[in-house]
Amino acid sequence: MNILDELKWRGAINQETDHEGLNKLVDQKSVGIYVGIDPTGDSMHIGHLIPFMILKRFQLAGHHPVIVIGGGTGAIGDPSGKKSERVLQTMDQVKHNQKALTGQMEKLFGQDGKFEIVNNYDWLSKLSLLEFLRDYGKLFNVNTMLNKEIVASRLEVGISYTEFTYQILQSIDFLHLYRHHDVQVQLGGADQWGNITSGTDLIHKVEGADAKVYGLTIPLLLKADGTKFGKSEGGNVWLDPEKTTPYEFYQFWINQDDRDVIRYLKYFTFLNQSQIAELAKKVETQPEKREAQRRLAEEVTEFVHGKQAVEQAEHISAALFSGDVSELTTAEIEQGFKNMPTVEVSAAPLDIVQWLVDATKIEPSRRQAREDIKNGAIRINGQKVQDVDFVIDPAAKFDGKFVIARRGKKHYYLARVK
């Protein structure tokens, strides 16, 4: 099974410019293949991750991945998926985002095999307006460009000349990479098909019709309910641990629907067919154990954040499930309680009734607080407290930074010490 056969089995091929030609090529040699990303933000989210997972598969199959950070195109703006013009970023913003994205790519691709990261600003910025128009603009037919879905979808509301020319710039990228980095394949999402075919057309016009270049897209990934994959209730799920903690990242994957989990295992993990088939059986016969979801969460979290992050996420999950948070570290509290109800409290010791009512408003009244304490409904830092005279000392646990309170079985509160 070559890489294209594997991608087909994983349901990861949408369109190909020439299946037979590309299939023959990947069997003959190590192929240069690229994916581009514009630095419109300082982190990828999991929607961005999809084509780079496919690129990683090419790397593991012995091919040569090239990642294009769009320092040039990012300053212009891709019209794809937008109903209006993008707000242009400052060059300082673009440079900051380039640096952050480069770090993420190095983490994903620097573990095995060779790869390259290049910046299209390096060649696009050297083009003069006259060169752009004479050497490239002359080769693009406006009627053809208007019919590309990426442009056609914007014609009703309007599109600027700046964004209209984006497909020419991306085509120049492909030509440059073909000439200087031995790249023969461009990979992208389904919405990039028009840009990709513009690139293969340009290369054939400039280098000759027999130039061996190919385009490959992956399908739009939808959830079983028909909505677009990639977001949680809180918004995007980011690869940056400062935006989405590894624990939140892990939880996103472990909470996937039974109807989706096997597709996601095929897309986002490097498990083989027999391993995934075994997990598919578990979904059918023992769905309550959620073994497929757990394996999915482990594999993707380890790929993005490392094995230690998986162990930490599992430790936090187990502690929250059991209610025993006493063994969590301060860093794990930061992750696991990021979205819990939070209050600020003084560092001074205070008796538990006052603390629950006056300091934190966890309890509505002293009478209710005393009743809940005596009934064993209150836990402080994982320990059940039934003594109404108990004194809470914020310095006693979690480096003096937090107090964790639980009321009943599910209601957690994070008290941050001022």
The string of DSSP codes covering 322-364 is HS--TT--HHHHHHHTTTS-EEEE-SS-EEHHHIIIIIS--SS
User: pLDDT-derived band of residue 133, with 50, 70 and 90 as boundaries?
Assistant: very high
Q: In what order do the strands lie in the sheet with 15-16?
A: 15-16, 214-218, 183-189, 32-37, 64-69, 116-119
Is residue 403 helix, strand or coil? Answer: strand
State yes or no: pLDDT of 2 exceeds 70: yes
Over the stretch 343-400, which tens digit does the pLDDT of each residue have? Answer: 999 999 999 999 999 999 999 999 999 999 999 999 999 999 999 999 999 999 999 9
CA-derived radius of gyration, the chain: 26
- Token couple for 325: 């948070």
> What is the homologous superfamily of the domain 342-417 according to CATH?
RNA-binding S4 domain (3.10.290.10)
| Ramachandran category for residue 331: left, alpha or beta (phi over 0 → left; psi -120 to 50 → alpha) | alpha
Least confident of 130-144, 149-163, 247-261, 392-406: 149-163
Q: Is 65 helix (H, G, I), strand (E, B) or coil?
A: strand
Q: Which helix (H) or strand (E) holds 32?
A: strand 32-37
Residue whose entry in the numeric block shows the structure tokens 């108990």: 390
Q: How many CB atoms lie within 10 A of CB 211?
A: 14
Domain(s) labelled CATH 1.10.240.10 in the chain stretch across 231-322
Report the distance separating Cα 321 and Cα 167, nearest Å. Answer: 50
| Confidence at 101, pLDDT banded by 50, 70, 90 | very high
Structure tokens at 143: 């009627």
Q: How many CB atoms lie within 10 A of CB 320?
A: 19
* CA 121 – CA 199 distance, rounded (Å): 17
Check: CB of residue 335 under 8 Å from CB of residue 315.
no
Main-chain dihedrals φ then ψ at residue 249, nearest 5 degrees: -60, -50
Q: What is the mean pLDDT of residues 294-307?
A: 96
Give the least confident one: 31-35, 79-83, 147-151, 351-355. Answer: 79-83
Looking at residue 226, what is its pLDDT? 82
Question: What are the pLDDT digits (tens) for 317-337?
Answer: 998 888 889 889 999 999 999
Task: Report in angstroms the alpha-carbon separations of 62 from 31, 85, 140, 178.
Answer: 8, 40, 35, 19
- Percent of the chain whose pLDDT exceeds 70: 97
The pLDDT score that the predictor gives to residue 150 is 78
Start-end of CATH 3.40.50.620 domains in the chain:
3-218
Report whether 231 belongs to an annotated binding site: yes
Give the Cα separation of 388 and 395 in Å (integer): 20
**C-alpha to C-alpha distance for 323 and 70, rounded to whole angstroms:** 47
Q: Enter the pTM of the model.
A: 0.86
CATH number of 231-322: 1.10.240.10
CB 213 within 8 A of CB 185: yes
Strands, E, within 207-355: which ranges?
A: 214-218, 231-232, 235-236, 342-345, 350-351
Residue 153 CB neighbours (<10 A):
17
Q: How far is CA 349 from its chain centroid?
A: 43
pLDDT of residue 322: 82
- Please indicate if the annotation marks 412 as binding a ligand: no
Q: Has residue 106 got a pLDDT over 60?
A: yes
Q: Residue 113 has what pLDDT?
A: 55
34 marked among binding-site residues? yes
Joined tokens for residue 148 = 């590309």
User: What letter represents residue 55's amino acid?
Assistant: L
What confidence tens digit (pLDDT) does each residue in 43-96 have? Answer: 999 988 999 999 999 999 999 999 999 999 888 877 766 666 777 788 889 899
287, pLDDT greater than 70 = yes
Enclosing H/E stretch for 153: none
Q: Is 267 annotated as a binding residue?
A: no
CATH match of 3-218 with 3.40.50.720: no
pLDDT tens across 241-269, in order?
A: 999 999 999 999 999 999 999 999 999 99
